Structure 1
């Protein structure tokens, strides 16, 4: 693909770092946006914008303005920013649901809305969201998280229809458990071979960003095979 400007929110995290590195390896200009002030590892040739609270629409707008000022355009937006809490309703309540909605749904809505004017200027623009396989049927303790990721799924579907007449696609991938140090620590007795590798997720995202995926929009794509 021709070099493009790819923006990855949650770019300092495990998955975000892998996705950003994969796009950079393919020769794209990569911008990592994150709530954390600094990344633990640098991305050679990339641009890092830390300390951004994407639950604040004004902060998302400023991030987009900074990206365009530095790179001249935005072509691909990958919304990875988010969080997870396992909590039964008996042990928690609406505060957890509001937190999950803010971290997973509101961040996606704000960054996407802020980026849309620039993405609509680009040729073959892409929006790729991170949903969750566990949001299709919510297990015990997953209510707040699943509900917030379900909101991401519905945003993906509705926005794809809203933008159907424009040169832009909107899709989401729905991973199962991702193989990260935190997930291994939280589930020490699990079969780690069944966890989805971040690099595999990055490959699916790369495909959705490519010209080969130009006819795919509004899709919720399960990414659930480990190994």
Structure 2
């Protein structure tokens, strides 16, 4: 399938920009969606949706509709959007848990639900969720993050079961620690070579 219509959430971040560029480099039309107010760069064969709060159902639906109208549908949704916080249960509070739930899980569910009708019209719809190894084995201080990423893992499993027999597949990628400036600052001793 050539010239697919791709949506990448978290498209202005380090990983999102690499994912979006990889699709654009192979000839796909890419829509980058991000909470940030301005894109840090532009993308060939693409468009940007800045200032999108993916926990807001109406904003997610509007971004999908605009991307589908501009690119003739949606064939692939890659959910990169998310965040990280390091905080122990003893020293932390509920705010971190709510933030991780919203950034990592609710944002994923909202845009996926909005994109399902367009993905169903694609001859080969794809949903790719970026989870985390921490969803399988959490470390100290990773409770809120790991729990929210475990939710992404379970959401992906539920989607795969719900969409079985359709033209859509749902899968998750579970990377370890990605080498980004923020992760280097938060976890200076982390092994990012895994």
TM-score normalised to the size of structure 1? Answer: 0.83
Residue number in structure 1 paired with 2:44: 44
Deviations 1:73-119 (A, max 9, x none): 10000001111000011211222111100110000000000000000
**3-state SS in 1 of match to 2:82:** coil
Does the 8 A contact of 2:78 with 2:129 survive in 1?
yes
Alignment partner of 1:186 is 2:186: yes
Deviations 1:29-70 (A, max 9, x none): 011000011111111221001110001111101111111121
Does the 8 A contact of 2:10 with 2:34 survive in 1?
yes
Matches of 2:124 and 2:94, distance apart in 1 = 40
Counterparts of 1:1-227 in structure 2, within 5 Å, are 1-190=1-190, 194-195=191-192, 225=194
**3-state SS in 2 of match to 1:53:** coil
Does the 8 A contact of 2:67 with 2:73 survive in 1?
yes
Q: Structure 2 unaligned segments of length 5 or more: list them.
A: none
**3-state SS in 2 of match to 1:19:** helix
How many residues get paired?
194
TM-score normalised to the size of structure 2? Answer: 0.96
**3-state SS in 2 of match to 1:120:** helix
Shift of 1:187: 3.1
Shift of 1:185: 2.6
Does the 8 A contact of 2:28 with 2:45 survive in 1?
no
CA RMSD of aligned residues (A): 1.1
Matches of 2:47 and 2:142, distance apart in 1 = 34
Matches of 1:171 and 1:73, distance apart in 2 = 20
